[in-house]
A and B are shown apart, each in its own frame.
Chain A
Amino acid sequence: MSARPVTTEDLLPFPLVPEGTTAKDIDDAVSLPMESFPTRRWWIAFSFSLGLLLIFSVNVTITVSQGIGTWGVNNPVGWGFAIVNLVFWIGIGHAGTLISAILFLFRQHWRTAIARFAEAMTLFAVLCAVQFPVLHTGRPWLAIYWMVPYPNHNNLWTNFRSPLEWDVFAISTYGTVSFLFWFLGLIPDLALARDRAKHPLRKFIYGLLSLGWNGSNRAWSHYERAYGLFAAIATPLVLSVHSVISFDFAASIVPGWHTTIFPPYFVAGAILSGFAMVTLVVVLLRKMFNLQHLVTESHLEVMNKIMLATALMVGYAYASEFFVAWYSGVLYEKYVFLNRAMGPYAWGYWSMVTCNVFVPQLLWFKKFRRNPWLMVPIVILVNVGMWFERFVIIVTSLHRDYLPAAWGMYHPTWVDAGLLVGSFGLFFTLVLLFVRFLPTIAVSELKGAVLQKHAGAHHE
């Protein structure tokens, strides 16, 4: 028996595109949103997002001009919505890196059709996330002085033993690396956009951005190694970023925070919320731009399976936290967890458990995994739940810690709410501009995975 070499096709759980799809079909489908005037649906979504972005700008202006006294943060809850939103948005971003790096290393070729969306989403989510700690400094225009070690008149340096300083390095590295990874993947597709462009201005801009890529195989051979190396370093990076975020809590001695389960628990939660957001964005965009044949229901099904798995991990973490609090015998730990489930913020706790653990159980049913309109409510609820998870962790631990005399409640203000809602405007505005002006699917990668089935067998 002559052994047939393993081809890309053998590794696919389902066909990536319908039988008989040609390279031109893929080029046309992906380029359509970039080359045609935006549709009505796009304009409606874009105006809505711009409206939310306006809300964001107004509240940023209020915060910057009047100070964070306009927020609900006070003693004892000094970290309110801002830090909740920071952790929430960073978590959303993690799915993008997971899809582009980790699934790449595992040779999950189905990721091709959604990787670009997800990477762009990472970038925009990180951008939303960094707004909050920077605003939280109160004087954002001075933030750089406090965050970055720079030679100054007093010879003072930042505290490298503080997880907050680790965050500065982790998040800025994450943002930079995500951008470079995304741009690296875009280069061959920008070259395609350049070569398809009719208008000289489009040709010039895409030509400039594609850096003169001409598909040379001498370049491809370096490019592929570069991409692989990027995936290899982005994988530990993504795990480190949310671990470092969790150190902000775990390295403190506040009951409910000081626990070793936090890094993996945060990473699992990040993947759950990130996949929920990718699924939401993908469902809406494939409908908006008629990409149903490239981003199929099978893609959605695989993403939903990952969501189900991470929802179970998150549920396990919730249970394990409770068990360890009881098993530790520490009075304060036990109280914090009972207070979470039965105290004044019990509604937040049970919203979190319902949305993150119970609702995703529907994904055991194939129908919910494959029908876009059934999964949309699920993924929205998961995002609500994941936001509440961070709210519960931050607010319930702070509002009642060791000394009952220092207990208090946290009351967010309209500015807090406006910034949270408005940050979605920033996110979706950027997403919609991205789908309008850049190739939303990694065309060269998809063509490689689809058209190579005959050539793949040829090796020395």
Chain B
Amino acid sequence: MNKPIVEVGTVGLVDDLSGTIPSKPKLGDKLLEGKQEKVGVVGLFDDPHALVKAAEKVRDAGWKQWDCHTPFPVHGLDAAMGLGWSKLPTIALSLGFTGAALALLMQYWMSAVSYPVHIGGKPLFSWPAFVPITFEMFVLFTAAGTVLTGLWMCKLGRWHSPLHDSGVMAEVSSSRFALVLSAKDELWSDGARSLLDEAGCTDVRDLFEDVDDGRIL
């Protein structure tokens, strides 16, 4: 789409986009070395209840590229955002059952095919004795599957976020609730922030993202 690019400049602190330049940068402050582009707007709420109400409005307006950011999972927000049930357990459990099948197959092959040991005519494929390891492998594969699927579905391992670049993440981690409207959405226009104003948000800010500066954090 036609992404609006706003060049903020080469000086200034991330936490301070209003234009005033603090006298001396402190250790730990991140200087804007390159350019930032505007990628959306963010509305900050103090009350999770208000966020849920606003999310319903955005959902009903037909937005697709938007998200809420909260310090803890807020009850009812999934429904308010129109999110369905996560498919994660289905994928993780399928991996788990695959692990169980592989474990049983491994024990069968090693005990009955590769190196059969005949002891008093006892069965080579004595499956009840193979249950514990089959079960443990089911659990191990499900757990590993949950983590890997989770990393992928939660889009983790992507250390860079516009919330950091715009300096709102610290507030969100602690106690505030953010609603982000992305400029990538088809409904995006310069008036998008009025949607948040209408939803009762008193703290609406532009959201910026660093143009790739080669850092991972």
* A binding-site residues for B, Cβ under 8 Å: 22-24, 27, 149, 155-158, 160-161, 163, 165-166, 169-170, 173, 176-177, 180-181, 183-184, 187-188, 191-192, 194-200, 203-204, 207-208, 211-226, 228-230, 233-234, 236-237, 240, 244, 247, 444-445, 447-448, 451-452, 454-456, 458-460
Residue contact B143 to A180, C-beta cutoff 8 Å: yes
Contacts of B170 in A (CB 8 A): 195-196
Given A149-B106, A180-B143, A240-B132, residue A161 in contact with residue B75 (CB < 8 A) = no
State how many residues of chain B have any CB contact under 8 Å with chain A. 73
Residue contact B74 to A215, C-beta cutoff 8 Å: no
Contacts of A452 in B (CB 8 A): 48, 72, 74-75
Residue contact A236 to B139, C-beta cutoff 8 Å: yes
Q: What are the nearest 4 A-B pairs in CB distance? A: A23-B175, A448-B72, A219-B154, A455-B48
B81 at the interface (CB under 8 A from A): yes
Residue contact A220 to B139, C-beta cutoff 8 Å: no
Complex interface residues of chain B between 80 and 113 (CB less than 8 A to chain A): 80-81, 83, 85-86, 88-89, 92-93, 96, 106-107, 110-111
B202 at the interface (CB under 8 A from A): no
Can you list 20 A-B pairs, Cβ within 8 angstroms, ordered by A? Answer: A23-B71, A23-B175, A27-B174, A160-B129, A169-B132, A173-B139, A180-B147, A200-B28, A212-B155, A217-B70, A218-B155, A219-B155, A221-B73, A225-B86, A226-B86, A226-B147, A226-B149, A229-B92, A233-B143, A458-B75
Chain A nearest CB from B146 CB (Å) reads 5
Residue contact A195 to B28, C-beta cutoff 8 Å: no
A342 CA to B74 CA, complexed, in Å: 60
A56 CA to B92 CA, complexed, in Å: 40
Residue contact B143 to A181, C-beta cutoff 8 Å: yes
B3 at the interface (CB under 8 A from A): no
A135 CA to B157 CA, complexed, in Å: 37
Of all chain A residues, which has the CB nearest B176? A23
Of all chain B residues, which has the CB nearest A458? B76
Chain B nearest CB from A5 CB (Å) reads 9
B209 at the interface (CB under 8 A from A): no
Residue contact B156 to A447, C-beta cutoff 8 Å: no
Residue contact B161 to A212, C-beta cutoff 8 Å: yes
Residue contact B174 to A459, C-beta cutoff 8 Å: no
Residue contact B111 to A157, C-beta cutoff 8 Å: yes
Chain A nearest CB from B216 CB (Å) reads 8
Q: A216-B69, A454-B49 are in contact. List 14 more A-B contacts (CB 8 A).
A: A23-B71, A149-B110, A169-B132, A170-B132, A177-B140, A213-B154, A214-B69, A215-B178, A217-B67, A217-B78, A233-B142, A236-B135, A244-B132, A455-B74
